[in-house]
Copies of this chain bind each other. A is one copy, B any other.
Amino acid sequence: MPLLLTPPMAPPRAARSPCQACGVREHVLFASLGGEQLAQQPVRPGWTGPEQALLARGHRGRFVYTIRSGLVRLERVTARGDTRVVRLAGRGDLVGLEALLGLPHADDAVACTPVEACAIAVDEIERLASEVGSLRQDLMLRWQRSLDAASSWSAEMCTGPARRRLLKLLEMLLPHADADGTLWLPRRELMGAMLDIALETASRLVSQLRQEGVLEPLPRQAARVDGERLAHALAAADR
């Protein structure tokens, strides 16, 4: 049984690194677990590449995924037939929570960048939750974060003129920048799906921001962003 859908998440290349040594352990679901629970190694780490699906809408998953690195978008298709991104998930976030309730996924979850994620079986979580009461509290916190991310998305990404929306998107992507200061810059059509604008409009705005020095596009859907100028441009757009 594949952990992921199309294609299955690659099996771990090296020996599993123990959860105790996980780089994001403080931020993830099992932060509150003791050494003895973690020693049982309840998760399965793996990688997947851009445009690969982690979750498929309508499918009843048997795993939830902790994102260790990379960026994932959650999207759905409207009655009108066009796909709309409803939120992003990044380092430390948990996706596929519906699986814990036996519900089908409400959205597609698609990797934007190379993604390192840990698959955690629903059964496993239920077993651990019966041992460690605080785990349920942690789960609720995850749900709340997702809810807040979705609300923020609709309040900030769907509001005001197109230029402001694009600036807001950059502001949201900036904290997920690589160690070398580059961040993921979506293809123009995807920007359109995120901000509800035409891809040509997205292209024009990117060009405009490039000329202003806010943004420097790089090959392979990457860019360098000047945080200073971005903040300045946002302040100007918000008045």
Interface residues of A (CB under 8 A from B): 74, 76, 78-82, 84, 86-87, 97-98, 100-101, 103, 106-107, 136-137, 139-141, 143-144, 146-148, 150-151, 153-160, 164, 196, 234, 237-238
> Are B101 and A159 interface neighbours, CB within 8 A?
no
Residues in B with CB closer than 8 Å to A160 are: 78, 80, 196
> Are A141 and B76 interface neighbours, CB within 8 A?
no
> Are B159 and A196 interface neighbours, CB within 8 A?
yes
Interchain nearest-CB distance for A32 vs B (Å): 14
CA distance A103 to B164 in the complex (A): 29
Q: Show 19 residue pairs from A and B whose CB-CB distance is below 8 angstroms, ordered by the A residue.
A: A74-B151, A78-B159, A79-B156, A80-B164, A80-B238, A84-B159, A86-B151, A86-B154, A86-B155, A97-B144, A98-B144, A101-B144, A106-B151, A136-B136, A140-B143, A150-B151, A153-B154, A158-B158, A158-B196
Interchain nearest-CB distance for A25 vs B (Å): 20
> Are A155 and B76 interface neighbours, CB within 8 A?
yes
